[in-house]
Amino acid sequence: MPKEALKVAIAGLGTVGGGTVKVLQNHADEIAARCGRPVVITAVAALSKEGLGFDISGYAWYDDAVAMAKDADADVFVELIGGSEGVARAAVEAALNAGRHVVTANKALIAHHGKALSRLAESKGVSLNYEAAVAGGIPVIKSIREALAGNTLKRVQGIMNGTCNYILTTMREEGLDFDKVLKDAQDLGYAEADPSFDIDGVDTAHKLAILTSVAFGVELNFKDVHVEGIRHISAVDIQFAEELGYRIKLLGVASRENGTLEQRVHPTMVPLDSPLAHVEGVFNAVVIDGDEVDTVMQVGRGAGERPTASAVVGDITDIARGISLPTFSVPADKLESVPTRDMNEHVGAYYVRLSLLDQPGVFADVAAALRDHQVSMESMIQRAREPGEPVPVVLTTHETTEANMRAALDAIAKLDSVTEKPRMIRIEG
């Protein structure tokens, strides 16, 4: 006897919501065959019906997502509104309290409230799925929770923001500065009118906090993620990186060792022989290191209507198949509280760009500041200068602590011969 249809209510009919409606409509027969039951939309909610570009005439209409979460004839509530508070949070909580499964693409909501929401979902015996919240169409959450369940994971890192990767790629390929490429990205729709969420690293930090919890079975700890963006990266830095055998990427990196977590988001010099160096444009990539599988890398589109809708529908089909997993790999009450290492304890190599006056003793002063703070220089590049202009100098260092590196840069910045604030980029081995 055929199983009853899984009934779905979708809140938010923007880019991802519209894409989800279209995928469920266009692939209805394939989804039913793969799930052993139909998956049907019964209700939708948005602020307006105008200009949607797809048919919603057969669905119950709500202009109040919270009311739909409580009252709709639906087994699954799909939240595609966005934001960590307000309507999105209230609607998800209402759906869970009503005993409905929830699927969301809302990385901010999960990063800030994931533990409480997972407890609520477990108490009601329903699923809280969020594959689309991290890396768009790349099934990284599914990989960690299912395919890699037999591994102790050691490290998760990746390029998780397509806007930043597009900007850095275009700066390198066209030799343009950040502000020009950002404006072009906004004109093309790759960057928001207010791009700060992306370019200041917050979007990547939300995703990293979620991945850290899933990968290591620890409580979400977004507030302790070290976050830096790409505003200060210049075309000059990108040119020097290429000359030194690196490319600059905004990476999110998480690891667990010696009873602490490392969670950091910042621009990084990635060696040209690393696969991450060749992930370009709007693409994302996630690299996972496990004790049994060694290293797994997944690459794909990290945003956009179709890839993100694909991930949302994947979560819905898991529910249709009866697949139920703990939200963060282990039950909420089993998530460990693990402290995050202070960024000053980070150990790594560094790229430093200086602007120096061409006068006697300058390099000796810089070398002394490095020596006094236990920083060992590996290489130096000095550019020819225009008459009367400061000399651009680039240094790379051997591994040292972040605290030592910052102390050395503070000392260098105070030298009379230094004409600009020193620029530092971490080098990832």
DSSP secondary-structure letter at 339? P
- Residue by residue, DSSP assigns 117-137 as HHHHHHHHT--EE-GGGTTTT
Cβ atoms < 10 Å from Cβ of 101? 26
Nearest CA-CA partner of 225 in 212, 239, 238, 243:
212
Residue position matching structure tokens 């009503």: 98
DSSP secondary-structure letter at 152? -
Residues across the chain: 429
> For residue 395, what are the contacts with CB-CB under 8 A and spacing of at least 6?
351, 352, 353, 354, 366, 370, 377, 378, 379, 380
CA distance 241 to 248: 7
Helix extents (H) in 271-373: 305-320, 362-372
Q: Are 345 and 207 in contact (CB under 8 A)?
A: no
Query: Where are the extended beta strands (E) located within 36-131?
Result: 39-45, 60-62, 76-79, 101-104, 128-129
Among residues 207, 249, 414, 421, the one annotated as catalytic is 207
Q: Is 207 designated active site?
A: yes
Pairing of strands 391-397, 347-356: antiparallel
Q: State the DSSP H helix or E strand holding residue 253, giving kind and residue range, or none if neither.
A: strand 246-257
DSSP secondary-structure letter at 84? S
Q: Catalytic residue numbers?
A: 207
